[in-house]
Amino acid sequence: MLTALLIICIPWLGLYGLCHELRARGQLHPDVGIAWILSSAGWSVLLVAIVEVTSAFQALNRATVAGAWVLAGLVLAGAALWLRWRRGGFAGLFVRMRESARRVLAVRPLDALVLQAVVGLGLAALGFVALATATTNWDSMTYHLPRIMHWLQQQSVAHFATPDARQLESGPWSEFVIATLYLLAGSDRLANLPQWYAMLCSLFAAALIARQLYPGWNQGSGAAAPDRARISAITALLVLTIPIGVTEAVSTQNDYVTACWLVCFVALGLALAANPTNPWYLAGCGAALALGMLTKATMIVFAAPFAVALLIGLAWRLPGIWLKLRAVLLIGALIALVNAPHMLRNYAIYQSPLGSRWTFEIQRNLDISIGGMASNIIRNLALHSQTGIAPLTDQLQAALTALHTATGRPLGNEANTFPYTPFQFPQGWVFSDSTGSAFWHLVLVPVLLLGLGVLVLRSTIAPRRAALYYAYCGLVCAGFVLFCGYLRWNPWHSRFHLAQLLLLMPLAALVLAQAWPRLLSYAYVAVLFGIAVYAFLYNQSRPLYLGRAYLTKPHTEQMFILNQLQYPLYQQLADDLIASKCLAIGKFVDSEVWQYPLWLMLKERGFTGTIENVLVQNETSVLRAAEPRTCAVFTSVAGGGGLGARYHHATTYSAFTVYWDERSSEWSSLKSIASDAQVAVVQPGQVFQLGQAPLQLRFRSGREGLLHLLGTLKAQGDAPLKQGVVTITAANGYSEAVPINGPAFESTIPIAGGATAIDLAFSASALSAQATLSDLRWEWRPGGGAWAVIQKLQNSNGLETLDGQPFFWMGDAPTSLQVFAGQAGQLELRGTFILGPSLAGVSSRQVLIENGYGYQEIIQLAAGEQRLALPVVAGQNTITLTALDRPNQATLPNGDTRTLLLGVKKLSAQLLP
């Protein structure tokens, strides 16, 4: 992981060094925030270029990507070092660094330094969680991360055939980063870092906005420097403590990344407004806007008010038509270059650069009106109505309900509500990566609006400066109004609101620092920090409150912390697919099925084959010439979509079914369960100490067949075991009593496919000898064939042994046999029959034999070995034997009152050729 981080960090450092050289030459403002944002934007555009170019040659692999980043690092870092050397920047470097640090510390008050230290600790804690834990996010499991696995498999970000349009049409920039990190690190352990870095970058950008809005930004470290440092620190802490930001910063989603690019765009826009002819600010604005659009299409809605204001400002302030045209062309060119490849891929499939018509229709409001917009504004604000104080929450939600009646729309307005997500107020003080009330941050909005008026009355700020603040706040709110007017409400919108919350925090910090008493401001910030700590610890998507019980779980198991019952299911599915040795796996699943964990588990088990979508019937089906040839297909679709007609064998895993072709269905595995419930593969030469509890075995197979068990039974001191009985029972109904006549143990068990629990229980006489079962071996005979096995026998008189052989008495109730046949045909039942004492003086017995499929026959049986033949079907058969004679002896001489008409010893079954 460190190597991967080093490879991608060196180019960023090179870009930062180049920005530093621009600062030294007076082409950039000396504020470190400017250099940070421009470096991040340049690095991000470089990433898009590397991913798209390597994809164009189907070379999106570890070697090519690593080589590209190393080359970029050498070029950029080398250029920065060369420019610094040309400027003579290395002479007295450490002295200048020490003097610079001294000047910074001299103008930063102690309280600002303390706040910055708290921010640093918070970032470090979130970074630890991002690195130490696995994602649990639903969207990531269904489409964010599966699309990455498809890209890496095909070594290209080209669209692929899929039933889930979200895996194609959604903005891919965050996934570009995760894919790059996955390739360089060889795993997904760095997958949460893009969102974490988005928080870090947002801290720099929001603090920069606060400094820009505060008077005197262009004066550097003048008299106002301590106040700017304090406002920057408060801004950073406000940003850090947004609850939905805390939970998003450690996830694999893209909402924080989108919000980050919006804040960067606004920060660079303010810098451009102050210096409209600066080409670096102009390019940075275009890059931030383009990257935000490539991350999530909602960036267009969020940024629209600021973009319009920026263009109007540039048109007003730039002299000459050429400079105006240059600004429009440069921003437009960056948007086109960054977004064109993805948009062209979308257009080729959906005839729209933004994606499918279905997605557009399902997300867009149907009630486009003032009332519909007002309704959505109130309902979106309602997502932040949980205050943590029950009476206050109740009053607030009642007030919002009353206010909503003025819109003339019902609270559950279906026209503007996402399907299957009916409106309701948030229940409980709950935080996750998709939900989280930011009430105590939002309440700062009316406070700052009033506070600005107070500052004007006190003459603390000029009316013109206050007008700028009100205009800035108005642009933020305009973006929120556009969002509510365009997109249907859903219960996860609080994560989208992160963008507006980030933009509001600089203004909130300005008001807190100037209009409130300092002690009161810090007390409020401390409350927000406490809420953030609660969201950090009790994040339902990262339940750190569970402590070691959560953090010490294996990486893949952490993904299922909210869905723990599914973990063993996915494990078993992955184990069986690996056991099948199938290298061309198909999937036919619903859009809400977690696909990514299975990809990951297969990779962890050394899978080197391909996983492709099958039976795709939407627009993307044209992306391949023919249906892929697969040897196994897993599906969550009821009925399998006709897969049963193509694949003759199937195994069910709760919500999944896997269909196997002939070769891949021949896999099998045998495991044992120890007394401490630990499951382990049966190893050659393994010794099992026999005890009161049965020896538990678990057999799995992809199809029906016969399991042949062999082993050696020994008494204490390795003496051969010569007494007792082994009773074998299987979950499929098979039961067999195997007499112990020597050290060799052998049994053949019919298996129907899937999971079969097998228990070996030893009689008291065997246990008294402190017996062991060693050298347990097994042979698997898959498939149908000319064989049959009696799985289970039910008889009213019970089961016995006679001369060491299984034996039972038929009486006045039917005897039922469960017989498993490898194929359809004639079954022969063979046994030794003994005339029972309940019917004295009669030399034969009448027996009715039935197979459950309409066949029945009455046969006459005499004493001795006899054979019975009847038709059976492949698989399970229920055969009944009914003695038709009536007894003439009610009580036997020994006092036995059972009806004993016909004894049967060593009954066996076989299919006739």
DSSP notation for 62-127: HHHHHHHHHHHHHHHHHHHHHHHHHTTTTTTHHHHHHHHHHHHHHHS-HHHHHHHHHHHHHHHHHH
> Which is it for the CA torsion 16, 48, 288, 130, positive or negative?
negative
Give me the percent of the chain exceeding a pLDDT of 70: 96
Of the two residues 295 and 806, the one the predictor is more confident about is 295
What would the mean pLDDT of 623-633 be, rounded to a whole number? Answer: 92
Q: What does the DSSP 8-state code read for residue 752?
A: -
Residue 216 Ramachandran class (φ > 0 left, ψ -120 to 50 alpha, else beta): left
Of the two residues 628 and 648, the one the predictor is more confident about is 628
With bands split at pLDDT 50, 70 and 90, how would you rate the model's confidence at 106? Answer: low
Instruction: Name the strands in the sheet holding 632-635, side by side, starting at the edge strand that comes first in the sequence.
Output: 610-613, 584-588, 632-635, 656-660, 649-653
What would the mean pLDDT of 479-498 be, rounded to a whole number? Answer: 96
In terms of Cα–Cα distance, which of 656, 636, 668, 494 is closest to 568? 656
The whole-number pLDDT of residue 220 equals 53
CA dist 497 and 307 (Å) reads: 19
Of the two residues 896 and 610, the one the predictor is more confident about is 610
Residues 6 or more apart in contact with residue 329 via CB below 8 angstroms: none
Q: What does the DSSP 8-state code read for residue 583?
A: S
Q: How many CA atoms lie within 13 A of 793 on its CB side?
A: 25
The whole-number pLDDT of residue 835 equals 94
Cβ–Cβ under 8 Å, residues 68 and 54: yes
Q: How many CB atoms lie within 10 A of CB 58?
A: 12
> Which is it for the CA torsion 51, 56, 62, 63, positive or negative?
negative
The whole-number pLDDT of residue 223 equals 46
Q: Nearest 10 degrees: CA dihedral of 477, 479, 480, 485? A: 120
| 59-91: pLDDT as tens digits | 999 999 999 999 999 999 999 999 988 877 666
Angle between helix 298-317 and helix 321-350 axes, rounded to 10 deg: 160
With bands split at pLDDT 50, 70 and 90, how would you rate the model's confidence at 101? Answer: low
What would the mean pLDDT of 131-141 be, rounded to a whole number? Answer: 95
The whole-number pLDDT of residue 8 equals 95
CA dist 274 and 278 (Å) reads: 9
The whole-number pLDDT of residue 818 equals 82
Residue 781 Ramachandran class (φ > 0 left, ψ -120 to 50 alpha, else beta): beta
What would the mean pLDDT of 780-802 be, rounded to a whole number? Answer: 80
CA dist 289 and 899 (Å) reads: 90
The whole-number pLDDT of residue 107 equals 67
Domains of the chain (ranges, CATH numbers): 36-70+103-363 (no CATH), 668-782 (2.60.120.260), 788-911 (2.60.120.260)
The whole-number pLDDT of residue 674 equals 74
| 833-888: pLDDT as tens digits | 999 999 988 999 999 999 988 899 999 999 999 999 999 987 778 999 999 999 99
Q: Give the global pTM.
A: 0.86
With bands split at pLDDT 50, 70 and 90, how would you rate the model's confidence at 121? Answer: very high
User: Is residue 342 helix, strand or coil?
Assistant: helix
The whole-number pLDDT of residue 727 equals 86
| 655-693: pLDDT as tens digits | 889 999 989 999 999 988 876 667 788 887 788 887 778
Cβ–Cβ under 8 Å, residues 154 and 58: yes
Cβ–Cβ under 8 Å, residues 774 and 712: yes
CA dist 873 and 871 (Å) reads: 7
- The answer on pLDDT for 442 being more than 80 is yes
User: Is residue 416 helix, strand or coil?
Assistant: helix
- The answer on pLDDT for 207 being more than 90 is yes
Q: What does the DSSP 8-state code read for residue 878?
A: E
Mean pLDDT over the full length of the chain: 90
What would the mean pLDDT of 368-396 be, rounded to a whole number? Answer: 95
Of the two residues 531 and 789, the one the predictor is more confident about is 531
DSSP readout, 611-655? EEE-S--SGGGGGSSSPPP-SEEEE-SGGGGGHHHH-SEEEEETT
| 801-833: pLDDT as tens digits | 888 788 999 998 999 998 878 788 999 999 999
* Cα end-to-end span (Å), the chain: 63
CA dist 641 and 622 (Å) reads: 20
With bands split at pLDDT 50, 70 and 90, how would you rate the model's confidence at 788? Answer: confident
Least confident residue range of 6-15, 74-83, 494-503, 677-686: 677-686
What would the mean pLDDT of 769-797 be, rounded to a whole number? Answer: 79
User: Is residue 767 helix, strand or coil?
Assistant: helix
In terms of Cα–Cα distance, which of 837, 815, 834 is closest to 890? 837
> Which is it for the CA torsion 443, 449, 450, 456, positive or negative?
positive
Question: Strand pairing partners for 668?
Answer: 701
| 561-616: pLDDT as tens digits | 988 989 999 999 999 999 999 999 999 999 999 999 999 999 999 999 999 999 99
What would the mean pLDDT of 278-294 be, rounded to a whole number? Answer: 97
The whole-number pLDDT of residue 820 equals 78
- The answer on pLDDT for 222 being more than 50 is no
Least confident residue range of 165-179, 319-333, 642-656: 642-656
Distances (CA, A) of 116 to 231, 248, 260: 11, 21, 20
Cβ–Cβ under 8 Å, residues 724 and 765: yes
Q: What does the DSSP 8-state code read for residue 364?
A: B
CA dist 517 and 538 (Å) reads: 32
The whole-number pLDDT of residue 221 equals 46
In terms of Cα–Cα distance, which of 295, 305, 308, 340 is closest to 496? 295
Radius of gyration over alpha carbons of the chain, in Å?
A: 37
Cβ–Cβ under 8 Å, residues 541 and 251: yes
The whole-number pLDDT of residue 69 equals 98
CA dist 882 and 903 (Å) reads: 12
Least confident residue range of 250-259, 292-301, 316-325, 478-487: 316-325
- Strand spans (E) along 654-771: 656-660, 668-673, 679-681, 688-689, 695-701, 705-714, 725-730, 735-739, 744-751, 754-762
